[in-house]
Amino acid sequence: MYTDNELFDILNESGEKTGQTMERGEVHRTGALHGSVHIWVIRRRLEGSEVLLQKRASDKDSYPDCWDAASTGHINAGEDSLSAAVREVEEELGINAAPSELIPLFRSRVREDNVFNGKRFINNEITRVYLLRRDIRDEELRPERAEISELKWFGAERLGVLLESGSGDFCVDREELREVLSCAESLLG
């Protein structure tokens, strides 16, 4: 569970640590550049790929009640992106993944200025995107109820249609999903 006083490393535009740290609440008030991770879980079925999404809890300070990648989170001060990904998968999904099961796919840059629950929230991140390369059984999933209200598998094709329609129920970036699915195609065969 997050708190406003978690410490994050502040990054420069190249994604390198500047040596400065800042509390989470201040990072999102000022728009300071920081790091995050997105971990995608995809399984193959005869009828096509399925993508695991989490529904963010209604009291989250950003994107409440919104469908998002299976596991997402910030990189804490002093932490690297792979360690953050391993930690987030354990905290949010209850899965103890080995670092070798988390395949780095790409980096993305996010800059958004939103209002959630009446408060301004500036999201200025360099996100490291990972694929969890593991066959996940539903009974393995133990979502952290303080942050996730529901987990659900979506057919990749159906999810693409929902995102194209502009449904406000999703905070998944369409381009990120397309790239993840393209990478997964070659990695998962």
Taking only the tens place, the pLDDT of each residue in 47-76 is 788 999 999 999 988 889 999 999 999 999
Give the phi and the psi of residue 74 in degrees, each rounded to 5.
Answer: -90, 155
- pLDDT tens digits for range 147-172: 999 999 999 999 988 998 887 799 99
Q: State yes or no: pLDDT of 125 exceeds 60.
A: yes
Q: State yes or no: pLDDT of 1 exceeds 90.
A: no
Which of 43-47, 69-73, 139-143 has the weakest average pLDDT? 43-47
pTM of the full structure: 0.93
Q: How far apart are CA 108 and CA 62, in angstroms?
A: 19
Q: How confident is the model at residue 119 (pLDDT cuts 50, 70, 90)?
A: confident
Q: What is the structure's pLDDT at 25?
A: 92
Q: What is the structure's pLDDT at 5?
A: 77
Tell me the residue ranges of DSSP E strands in the chain.
Answer: 7-11, 17-23, 34-40, 42-45, 48-56, 67-69, 71-74, 102-116, 119-132, 148-155
Q: How confident is the model at residue 2 (pLDDT cuts 50, 70, 90)?
A: low
